[in-house]
Amino acid sequence: MGDPRRRVPRTDVLLAHPRLAEAERVLGRALVKAVVTDAQDRARAGEIEPEQVAEHAIAALPTAATTLRPVVNATGVVVHTNLGRAPLSRAALDAVVTAGRATDVEFDLATGRRARRGRGAMAALADAVPAAGGVHVVNNNAAALLLCALTLAPGREIVISRGELVEIGDGFRIPELLESAGARLREVGTTNRTSLRDYSSALGPDTGFVLKVHPSNFQVTGFTADVPIRELATLDVPVVADIGSGLLAPHPVLPDEPDATTALRDGADLVTASGDKLLGGPQAGLLLGSADLVEKLRRHPAARALRVDKLTLAALEATLRGPEPPVARALGADVAELRRRAEALAARVPGAEVVACAAAVGGGGAPGVELPSVAVSLPESCAEPLRSGSPAVVGRVERGRCLLDLRTVDPADDELLLAAVRACMS
């Protein structure tokens, strides 16, 4: 008998197969060729028959040209950092698709001349926060703070309370971020208590600005005191307020969470915030405040390095102009409706139970706030196969049970969730 390896189809023959040729159009030649080569190597190693190479290559094709996988967030954490924070609204997703083509992001179709970049998104942000004299957007909230330091305090001092020298995650710390911009930190007060006198005593000719940082991912309780923005605004220096989580106006579910509108009305000269947390939009750093200061920030050379792309601008504008985003829906979810959905799902899954539970805001916002919720409870052994399924379903394990918290599951995904659970249980 001849060497069976001689029967392994050639690469060009395999790539001409109708299914593989169509996959090449969607996924790209390099990715499809890699899958074909792997199947050929398996045939040469005797793991599969040479006649099965095309079949195995087709079965091994990914569904998309990205390694990212869609996930159903059933963790009960509304803004889950590890799952990409805020899921975008349908309107924002459609806007991203539109922006993926050639667009008028920096072009005036009426005059045929260059126009201000992202003017639609900036107008939407200005309309959402009328208290802001000027607005600008960079690629995240850390970038917004960095631009403030680069513009207002190079080689100068930033006055900040010791209790607000926070770490923002993954080992990154606000003090180190600001110092990397060439600013010096002037720490005032103590870890648990800071007074207005502490700030005023620290001011001098080297003061660039006073920074008020909301400790959005932790709480200090007990014998504590801090200085509100309206009192800091009486000092004769710019006040920058980092509110963190991106709430643009007061929210009834989160009465203690700072918002941009209130901070500006209380006298903050600049407010920085995230676009991908409580606002429910794409990753972005929002800058709102005095028109003169915002324009100064916008014209700083570093602003070019920190600017957002057209996809972000499109998603941000659609989030601000369009229907209520998923984060807002999750925060305002009706517990009775969550229970009705959970009971409908559990009734179709043997062994499933309905339990009351507590969800969280997440994403470094509203620490300590518990949102009453309802979950479908399954055996703990379901957690891993649910994560490994398609789509992946991520719940949380509590007291030996796998809980699928419906506050963070879009009602439109209930049937998808049911199918995943049934596949796991079988």
**Beta bridge partner(s), residue 102:** none
Q: 58-62, 164-168, 281-285, 372-376: lowest mean pLDDT where? A: 164-168
Please name the amino acid found at residue 242.
D
What mean pLDDT value characterizes the chain? 94
**Residue indicated by tokens 């200005």:** 126
Show the domains of the chain with their CATH numbers. 4-60 (no CATH), 71-83+328-425 (3.90.1150.180), 90-323 (3.40.640.10)
Q: Please provide the DSSP assignment of 216-229 as one string.
A: TT----SS-B---H
Instruction: Tell me the per-residue pLDDT of 309-319, one tens digit each, with 9 for 90 and over.
Output: 999 999 999 99
C-alpha pair distances (Å), 408 with each of 11, 91, 281, 332, 393: 46, 19, 16, 11, 12
Q: Please provide the DSSP assignment of 326-341 as one string.
A: HHHHHHT--HHHHHHH
Report the phi/psi class of residue 290: left, alpha or beta, with left for phi > 0 and alpha for psi in -120 to 50.
Answer: beta
Model pLDDT, residue 88: 97
Between 359 and 191, whose confidence is greater? Answer: 359
> CA-to-CA distance for 191 and 161, rounded, in angstroms?
8
Model pLDDT, residue 216: 65
> CA-to-CA distance for 161 and 185, rounded, in angstroms?
10
Q: How confident is the model at residue 4 (pLDDT cuts 50, 70, 90)?
A: confident
Instruction: Tell me the per-residue pLDDT of 321-357, one tens digit each, with 9 for 90 and over.
Output: 999 999 999 999 999 999 999 999 999 999 999 999 9
For a pLDDT cut of 90, what percent of the chain falls above it? 86
| Nearest-10 Cα torsion for 105, 106, 107, 108 | 90
Q: How confident is the model at residue 154 (pLDDT cuts 50, 70, 90)?
A: very high
Query: What's this model's pTM, rounded to 2 decimal places?
Result: 0.90
Model pLDDT, residue 395: 97
Residue 171 has pLDDT above 90, yes or no: no
Model pLDDT, residue 217: 64
Model pLDDT, residue 2: 65
Residue 74 has pLDDT above 60, yes or no: yes
Instruction: Tell me the per-residue pLDDT of 135-148, one tens digit each, with 9 for 90 and over.
Output: 999 999 999 999 99
Map residue 426 onto helix, strand or coil: coil
> CA-to-CA distance for 210 and 91, rounded, in angstroms?
38
